[in-house]
Structure 1
Amino acid sequence: MVAIKRSASFSSSENFLTKKKTKTIVTPINENETSYYRSINLSEQNPLKVYTFGTGSMCELGYGPLAKNKEIKRPRLNVYLENLKIKSLVAGGMHSLVLTSDNEVYSWGTNDMGVLGRDTVTNANMALKDAGEESDDDDGDLNDLESTPAKVENLPKINGEIIQICATDNASVILYENGDVYAWGTFRNNEGVLGFYKNEIKIQTKPWKLPLTFLKNKQAKIVQIASGKDHILLLDSFGVLYAWGTYQQGQLARKIMDHHALANLHPQPIIFKSRSKVQVKAVFSGENHAFAVTHSNILFAWGLNQFGQCGTDKDLEDGGLIYTPKKVLLPSEVNPAADIKLIAAGEHHSLILLNNGKILSFGRRDMFEIGLASDQVPKENAYLDPSSKKIRSVPVPTFLPTDVVFTSVAAGSHHSLATTDKGYLYTWGFGETYALGLGPAGEDVETPAKVMNTAIKEMKITFVSGGGQFSIAGGYDLTEEEIEIREEEEE
């Protein structure tokens, strides 16, 4: 990605001492720095092989319509994707997207809200045979057009490369290198379907170009996106961050009255209360909370925080919401702008991956989402259940005590995944839906556990993503030399 040319726009502000108007110069951020946070979501190596595992009663796993494929308890190669040149993957709540080097997007999963971006009704339930499956299986088969990966329809071909894909629970969104954003689906709130765009679109079933009229600077373009459960964040080339979607948990960093919901159903800038202008460098999101790294070296968080998943306060408040971005309580040795590689977050927990391979974890611990054993949590960082005195959450970012060097991290609703520099896959957290890929026990896992089976024993896993009750992993074949090294390590 070539950095955009630096240019200046001017906004007038009044100096109340001199009563004269002064000019404030606003310059673009260095897009090369922002592109780094996108590039970690794109594979530049061999085309990825894709493995999905977990529970797929709503077509989440993408292995076709047969009922026997509704539960995959260990990683399994998805043969429908085997011949595609996949370079990125992402899981939403109940659907997934993959991006190919041919600039095409494939989707699968439940399509109730149009999130797949293609027709899944016409000629549905005609079981496919191209993967060696039989068509006369028992009752309970899935919709074949939802459960089988297929190309998203009606995407433009003239916008250059797709540089990022995101998925919420009920929407899909992609970003082109020229700054165009295409999205489809809808947003839901506590009452049901909220809508998609203002009061003009309720459910968008085909890819739709987001009007960029909301940009404060007309020279700006969108350079990074992030998605939550039912909201989307967009960062522009001047470091201004915009939020769009459902608002009830504070995830848009502003208070909205219910009777004004539709009027506010379009991207609007997030306001950081600061004496100086805040320019955002990178943005990340959990289901109902979010994070922003600024060029002024601060990590901000906002949204739902009742389990300390924002990491902003040691003292918790039941149902606590943060409407105005607050500073995250990072360890003193962590430099947000220089050290943070990636932030992943689920419903009630968050994970910060640093460039040195260490992970900071915080939030809810009821289902071991944060990967910390009770004796690994400093007493001053623990929030105890008043009755049982067990550690219910850890509201302060705390290092996972391990020598493993992690290279990528992801979060499902209540489980976590990470890859290592040696290509291993680790998982922890809620295990009942088999989204940990550790086999038939289906038990919760307290601390990071290595996932290994025949399907991935000779694979280097480099990409992971977590959905509501399933997971996706991507990787490529090890060389013979790397296989020998791994076998020696396993002995």
Structure 2
Amino acid sequence: MAAAGTPADSRKLSNKVVAIAAGEAHTLALTGDGNVYAWGRGMFGRLGTGLQNDELFPVRIDFDSARRSWGGRRLKFVEIAAGAYHSLGLAEQFLELGHPDSFRDESESNIRTSLKVSSVKAGGMMSLAIDNLGALWMWGNCCPQQSSSSEGGFSLISSSIPIPVWNFHGHTVVKVACGNEHVVALVSAGETYKGGDLVCYTWGNNNHGQLGLGDTESRFHPEAVEKFSPSSHWAVHEVACGAFHTALLALDSRASNTLTSVCWTFGLGENGQLGLGTTRSSMLPEPVKGLPWDVFLISVDCGLFHTSVVSSAGDVWSWGMEKGLGLCPDASFTGTDAGDAISPLFISCGGPSRPNFPAPVQVSCGAAHTVLVGDDGYKLWSWGRGRSGVLGNGKTVDCFAPSTVLWPPPTDDFKEMGLDNVDRVKKSKGKDPTRITETEKRLMEAMEEMKILGSKLSVMEKYTSILHGSIFGKPFEERDIPISLQNSGSFDIAKEWENMLESSDRAKLVRLEMFYRNMLVGVKDKILKKRIQEIVRECLDSPPRGGNNYDFSD
């Protein structure tokens, strides 16, 4: 049923996002009708469009070539995953895998059990899958299951086909996550998963303590994290990995009267990505400082050097690099707002009047951006580094506050109005399809015009943000636009300047005074230099008095 005041056709299943995944500079979205959308950087073909072009807003991936290999049946996808530079999609028509035992003894290769992939995950240049029996598989740049050198050092191995992880035989792998070189798995304590009995195992590179085992020694085989072992009262229900850090959501089984969860982190902390109020790294799980203890956290994800969580009430917090926005060093803040967030920062949906995100579903972090699904899947927000269109808002500039992703994509609505309806129109009304084609042509021209205007707007916003940051010491945000300009479109600069001065505190006024003085000194200095240049030029251009010619050569 559509929400009150919302048109029924806008709440259709094809517009509902049920899952998102963020890579290094691209984003994926899975809709309720089984379609996959992608946007952001297209290099290496990670968007699945058949090209390497960037996409500034969501585009639906066309699986026609794959459909032909499935006898013309439409592929319906049930899960997505994004690594740094690659993407995964899991269709209902599951691909079969050989039984793990057949890998151990080729003589038994004729004894094969039909296994199907039930879940996929990706991180860095690694891909993971869980089959319907609860076994774990991995491919790409994988963590080795034994030492790969005579000295016993750690290095990844490359595999172009899925290889099984043997260590969890007799147990069920329920969830998994991976960073650049480490893996975290939530595995049933018994043979089958009964809910609430998960054990956290980690393995791989441990140079920053990202395995949470109390040291920095790498592991070739999974080891249980003691804090989340069967003897602990903490029940893990979500896991995420950054490049070199790990985050977990866990329930306290002792708190029977309230449904609350705690975010635990460990690993590299030099950018504040652990949320511990410091930049130190941690080799053991520690609870994030500054998050309320009376909220239920439903989703957590890690970017390259930042972490984000969202509660069931729609509260969002981020911490880590560049104020928790995940921005890389070459796209940093300036002035008094510079620096990383070493403790959680509350991310507001739309200012003080609307701080919470309605009906949250999931949060996902890319290398330097964050995407959140809310409104029960019918609305997306994004923030962070915006180059290559990774934020999906039609722009390529950084956003320091949540911006709305262009969802549902306008191209889908245009197609419904265009050639997709030609046959239906011809059969039902007998109309000339050229009229529909002409309509689509005008719509596509309008779309191109929108792209041009969006590009111009991006340049203007970037220029405005630079000026605003220079004067006020912080990035320009929408709420900085004067009320008079928002309401009427007219702008009395003298009046607004006076209002701004009246409302500023002493620190802001001192900063403005310093900016004005520096600017004035710079202008006076330039005027003086220009005048000196003019005097020198006049002297050089004037003939010497008395008609004497001077020779300055040796």
Aligned to 2:199: 240
Displacement after TM superposition at 1:367 (Å) = 8.4
> Of 165, 172, 178, which aligns to 1:210?
165
Aligned to 1:446: 400
Give 1:418-429 correspondences, 5 Å limit.
Answer: 418-421=372-375, 423-429=378-384
Distance 1:228 1:52, change over 3 A: same
Residue 306 (structure 2) aligns with? 349
Q: Which amino acid aligns with 1:429?
A: G
1:403–1:455: structure 2 CA closer, same or farther, 3 Å change rule?
Answer: farther
Instruction: Tell me the equivalent position of 1:171.
Output: 126
Change (3 A) 1:451 1:283: closer
Aligned to 1:326: 286
CA distance, structure 2, for counterparts of residue 274 and residue 101 of structure 1: 34
Match in the other structure for 2:341:
394
Q: What residue in structure 1 maps to residue 208 of structure 2?
A: 249
**Structure 2 residue identity aligned to 1:225:** V
Distance verdict in 2 for CA 1:343–1:158, change over 3 Å: farther
Q: In the TM superposition, what is the alpha-carbon distance from 1:162 to its structure 2 partner?
A: 3.3
Is the 2:200–2:228 contact (alpha carbons within 8 Å) kept by the matching residues of 1? no
Residue deviations 1:427-460 (CA, integer Å, cap 9, x gap): 1100123211222x4110111111224136699x
The counterpart of 1:70, out of the listed 32, 53, 56, is 53
- Tell me the alpha carbon deviations over residues 27-47 of structure 1, each in whole angstroms, 9 at most, x when there is no partner: xxxxxxxxxxxx978999843
TM-score for the superposition, normalised by structure 2: 0.54
Offset at residue 348 of structure 1 (A): 1.6
Q: Distance in 1 between matches of 2:31 and 2:159?
A: 34
Is structure 2 residue 259 aligned with structure 1 residue 300? no
- Secondary structure of the corresponding residue to residue 93 of structure 2: coil
Tell me if structure 2 keeps the 8 A contact 1:348–1:364. yes
Greater RCO, CA 8 A, separation 6+: 1
- Give the SS at the match of 2:319: strand
**Deviation for aligned residue 1:414:** 0.3
Match of 1:433 among 388, 402, 408: 388
The structure whose Rg is larger is 2
Verify the 8 A CA contact 1:367 1:414 in the aligned structure 2: no
Q: Matched residues in 2 for 1:41 and 1:432: separation?
A: 19
The yes-or-no answer on 1:186 pairing with 2:141 is yes
Cα displacement (A) at 1:160: 5.5
CA distance in 2, matches of 1:421, 1:300: 27
Give yes or no for contact 2:324–2:340 (8 Å, CA) kept in 1: no
Aligned match for 2:91, one of 85, 100, 103: 100
Match of 1:162, as an amino acid? Answer: V
Map of 1:54 onto structure 2:
40
Deviations 1:113-157 (A, max 9, x none): xxxxxxxxxxxxxxxxxxxxxxxxxxxxxxxxxxxxxxxxx9x98
Structure 2 stretches lacking a partner, 5+ long: 1-17, 22-28, 68-73, 97-108, 149-155, 190-197, 253-260, 349-354, 416-554
- 2:263–2:287 contact (8 Å) kept in structure 1: yes
**What is the rounded CA distance, in whole Å, between the counterparts of 2:207 and 2:172 in structure 1?**
28
SS of 1:326's equivalent in the other structure is strand
Question: For residues 75 and 310 of structure 1, what CA distance do their matches in structure 2 show?
Answer: 31
Residues 30 and 79 in structure 2, CA contact (< 8 A), matched pair in contact too: no
Q: Is the contact made by 1:159 and 1:180 (CA closer than 8 Å) also made in structure 2? A: no
Partners of 1:328 and 1:74 in 2: CA distance: 34
Aligned pairs (5 A) from 1:333-412: 333-335=293-295, 339-365=296-322, 368-369=325-326, 388-401=335-348, 402-405=355-358, 406-412=360-366
Distance 2:361 2:119 in 1: 19
Any idea what SS the aligned residue of 2:63 has? Answer: helix
In 2 relative to 1, CA 282–456 (structure 1 residues): closer, same or farther, beyond 3 Å? farther
Instruction: Indicate which of 230, 235, 240 corresponds to 2:181.
Output: 230
8 Å Cα contact 1:299/1:327 also seen in 2: yes
Given the alignment, which residue of 305, 310, 325 partners 2:274?
A: 310
Q: TM-score scaled to structure 1, two decimals?
A: 0.60
What amino acid maps onto 1:437 in structure 2? G
Given that 2:319 and 2:325 are in contact with CA atoms closer than 8 Å, whether structure 1 keeps it comes out as: no
Contact 2:387 2:398 in 1 (8 A): yes
**SS of corresponding position for 1:365:** coil
Identical residues among aligned pairs (%): 21
More helix by share: 2
Query: When you count strand as a share of all residues, which structure comes out higher?
Result: 1
